[in-house]
Amino acid sequence: MNKFSVIGQSVPRIDGWAKATGSAMYTDDLSLPGMLIGKLLRSPHAHARILSIDVSKALALPGVKAVITGNDPVTNKTTHWRMRPQLADMAALASDRVRFLGEEVAAVAAVDEDTAIEALSLIKVEYEPLPGVFTIEEAIAENAPRVHDEFDRNINPSVSLPVSYGDVEKGFAESFHVRTDKFSTPTVIHAYMEPHSALASYEPPGKLTLWASTATPYYLKGDVAQVMGLRESDVRVIKPYLGGNFGGRNVPFALDFCAGLLSMRSGKPVKITYDRKEEFNAAGRRHAARLELKTGVSKEGILLAKEISVYLDGGAYNGFGPTVTFLSGLYHTVVYRLPNYKFNGYRVYTNNPIAIGMRGFCGPQAHFAAETQMDMIAEDLGMDPVELRLKNVIKTGEIVPTVGVIKSCGLTEALNKVSSAVNWSGRPKEKGTGKGMAITCFGQMSGANFNFYNTPYAYSGAEIRAYPDGTLTLFSLAADVGQGSDTLLCQIAAEELGLKIGDVRFIGNDTAVDPVDLGAYSSRQTMFSGNAVLAAARDLKQQLFEAASPKLETSVIHELEARDGRIQVKGSAKRGMTFGEAVMCVLRAKGGKEVSGFGTYTPRGKGTATPAVGYGVAAAEVEVNKETGVTRVTRFTMAHDCGTNINPMAVEGQVYGSIQMGLGYALSEKLIIDKGRVMNANFLDYKMPSTLDMPEMVSFAIDTVDPEGPFGAKESGEGPINCVAPAITNAVYNAVGFRVMELPVRPDDILGLRKDKKG
């Protein structure tokens, strides 16, 4: 039985009406008086030296109000890109060299889009083409052309947190069975519906307001201030409604800086919106990866040692790459008990478009390799794959060197739940029937325990204001990017203060109004922002209890409770008052000063990388046509340990969205890049699964309580994608007898493998 009144309820999103009716305003929907349209000139070369740029004809075109290039003292500053200053390697506009096809070299602002586009055609850039590197193998070869002169073999040593421990060689020596396997994963894109957009309005002397499609308003504020030479408090970032994120809006892009500078130079508001081709070419992608796993086990199947070598195609600049590299090693340590572990991680510069973070932040790459090899080891040992996993999965209370104490873990329960739901013991054991099933596991951090921007502020903050009519206003900079976090935070506030969710109004996404919150990435909102809101609610409740206790004839505030819109003595509704009456008591006691509660959350000392880990198990059932090679996923079952399930409907939506994204990663999606040029830069040629491709989906919530999370909750936004691809490809192996080592698996791959097998 649910012991809460609001927590655990399937609550519709508070922004659902606006989005369903079309009244929600996204950045590109906004317009200001006198607004200009900005456009960016992009390099036609993947690697070239810029010899000269002539903008005179563009400036002379009627209707053009401003033109900027990389020679500007503002645009040639490198940005921190969420990382340490020594890793900053990309400017708003290229000045001396372009390193990927589509890199920005100039920007214009004009009275309309047609004039801006014509102005771009009038800018004359003289290039000296340079040799490039476009694959990991090319980039790390001896004497390969350098993307950045200071990095030999194009490797940027960027992993700083420890992800190796124990004695790997000793573990391998003690192993009954050791196997080494190589895996390959492609680069894919975020494919959100809303393209990047930025609207800047500069007001002399030195005040800038930026409306942006960002998932990290606070970070963007700092980056823009740093590049434009403004004080942080003089930059205001507002995030309107956002049409998807998946990690693609966690770094700044050229349009954010150029819109601001063009507004400064023209004296007018300037809006820049990418088209779909620009999104494919220059707005970030998932890292392509080459992974080598060496794993040793005992005769009984107990994992004894593992060594991982990962090479990531990072493209031309760092982006979120250092974090992705670190996580590509971390993920191998949080699912299974592993006494000895060594990680070798290399993020490689290439002349491809920049790779940034994407849902899972290298979790899909790492889990594909690890979960595929787990099935291979099980087959080597003649063991059931689920039995092998049950012997090795992490349990509550165990210590993971890269994380700390695992305070909650429902993997054993999830394995048993999924196995039962799909009748695992009754599955066909014979391979090659065309039908297959597989079960895989995942783990996902609930927020990064490190500060990418080195801010002195708390990682998350919240304010709750209470009013005599019994309602609240919640202020938070936590970014709802479509996952429903605004609704979840309102649920937490309402639950703690004994109100209904309809009594809470959310005001967010404005750096000039809301307390600092570092934004939406690494599945941090529930854990970090949720804890900040809970702390603010408790601060407010304390004030209400202290003011109400004399009226209720009790001096012990611990005897009071907030429930059903009232502040009352526990178990005695008659000895109480309405919530609004309690607010009035505080107002009178403070001489009319506004009644507010404040809360923050920073997980210092609560784990090396994250304060908690979300877990889960997935089962894929597939049918493979052995004549055409077409794979169809018929049913996908997932059990997710996200701690206390605050909003079951929202969690289910996250699970189903992860299945869709993982399905594409496994079977159809791949960004095709030829010598730096994206060849399928549109939704027609880039093959994402549609509703017609989706299987029957079943989702279970595993009931655990994480002591670190608000009401015991933890992540649910990213983890489920991690094990989708290996569940599907392992099922394909069980269906047709061929092992997939490279994603995506396509019909011609299966047919080619079948031909090789017969031959």
Q: Tens digit of pLDDT for each residue in 476-502? A: 999 999 999 999 999 999 999 999 999
Q: What is the mean pLDDT of residues 326-345?
A: 95
> Mean pLDDT over residues 411-427, rounded?
97
191 within a domain of the structure (yes/no): no
Residue 187 has what pLDDT? 97
pLDDT over 50 at 759, yes or no = no
Q: β-strands 36-42, 270-273: how paired?
A: parallel
- Within this chain, do residues 371 and 241 fall inside the same structural domain, yes or no? no
Structural domain span for residue 68 = 33-130+196-273
Query: 514 and 466 in one domain?
Result: yes
Please spell the DSSP secondary structure of 555-621, one letter per residue: S-GGGEEEETTEEEETTEEEEEEEHHHHHHHHHHHTTT--EEEEEEE--TTS-SS-S-EEEEEEEEE
Judged against a pLDDT cut of 80, whether residue 83 lies above it is answered with no
640-670 pLDDT, tens digit per residue, is 999 999 999 999 999 999 999 999 999 999 9
Spell out where 175-232 has E strands.
177-185, 197-203, 207-212
The reported pLDDT for the residue numbered 456 is 82
Q: Indicate whether 267 pLDDT > 90.
A: yes
402 assigned to some structural domain: yes
| Domain contains 163 | no
Residue 257 inside a domain? The answer is yes
Q: Are strands 270-273 and 288-297 parallel, antiparallel or unpaired?
A: unpaired
Domain boundary among 601, 618, 639: 601
What mean pLDDT do residues 286-291 have?
Answer: 97
CA quadruple 142, 147, 150, 153: dihedral, nearest 10: -20
Cα atoms in the Cβ-side hemisphere of radius 13 Å centred on 97: 16
- Residue 669 is encoded by which pair of tokens? 């999606």
Of residues 653, 623, 652, 657, the one with CA closest to residue 639 = 652
pLDDT at 2: 65
pLDDT band, residue 753 (cuts 50/70/90)? low
Q: What is the pLDDT of residue 162?
A: 64
What the block records as the tokens of 145 is: 């052309």
Phi, psi of 555 (to 5 degrees): -100, 0
CB 421 within 8 A of CB 649: no
Cross-strand partners of 185: 289
Verify that 83 and 203 share a domain, yes or no: yes
749: which DSSP letter?
H
Query: Does residue 201 have a pLDDT over 70?
Result: yes
**Residue 413: closest CA among 440, 399, 425, 395:** 395
Give the integer Cα–Cα distance in Å for 440 and 393.
11
Q: Tell the residue number behind the tokens 């966690």, with chain if given.
A: 250
Do 547 and 567 lie in a common domain?
yes
Whether residue 236 sits in one domain with residue 309:
no
Closest CA to 247 of 325, 334, 402, 355: 355
Residue 141 covered by a domain: no
Which 3-state string (H, E, C) describes 609-667?
CCCCEEEEEEEEEEEECCCCCCEEEEEEEEEEECECCCCHHHHHHHHHHHHHHHHHHHH
Tokens found for residue 560: 């009071």
How far is Cα 247 from Cα 323, in angstroms, rounded to an integer? 12
* Sequential DSSP letters for 354-374: PP---TTTTHHHHHHHHHHHH
DSSP 339: S
Asked whether the predicted pLDDT for residue 161 surpasses 80, the reply is no
Residue 19, C-beta contacts closer than 8 angstroms, at least 6 positions apart: 13, 241
Residue 688 lies in a domain: yes
Phi and psi torsions of 757, nearest 5°: -65, -45
Confidence of residue 158 (pLDDT cuts 50, 70, 90): low
Domain count, the chain: 3
The pLDDT assigned to 432 comes to: 87
Query: Are residues 555 and 444 both part of a single domain?
Result: no
**pTM, two decimal places:** 0.95
Residue 140 falls within a domain, yes or no? no
CA distance 395 to 348: 35
* Residue 60 located in a structural domain: yes
**pLDDT at residue 756 above 70?**
no
Distance CA 758, CA 420 (A): 36
Q: Which of 364-368, 537-541, 566-570 has the lowest mean pLDDT?
A: 566-570
Q: Which residues pair with 171 in a beta bridge?
A: none
Question: Considering Cα of 100, then 105, then 111, then 116, what sign does the dihedral take?
Answer: negative
Asked if 200 and 209 touch (Cβ cutoff 8 Å), the reply is yes
The neighbouring-strand residues paired with 37 are 110, 271
User: Are the C-beta atoms of 740 and 754 separated by less than 8 Å?
Assistant: no
Pair (113, 256) in one structural domain: yes
Residues 592 and 536 in one domain: yes
pLDDT in tens, 493-526: 999 999 999 999 999 999 999 999 999 998 999 9
pLDDT for res 410: 98
Domain limit, last residue, from 273, 307, 338: 273
Which CATH number fits the domain that encloses residue 578?
3.30.365.10
Of 273, 304, 336, the last residue of a domain is 273
Q: Let me know: does 264 contact 202? Beta carbons within 8 Å.
A: yes
Is there a single domain that holds both residue 586 and residue 672?
A: no
d(CA 430, CA 735): 8
CATH number, domain containing residue 37: 3.90.1170.50
Within a 10 A sphere around the Cβ of 88, how many other Cβ atoms? 18
Residue 304 sits in the same domain as residue 364: yes
Q: Rounded CA gap, 88 and 464, in Å? A: 37
The answer on 202 and 65 residing in a single domain is yes
* Claim to verify: residue 268 and residue 298 sit in the same structural domain: no
Partnered with residue 476 across adjacent β-strands are: 508
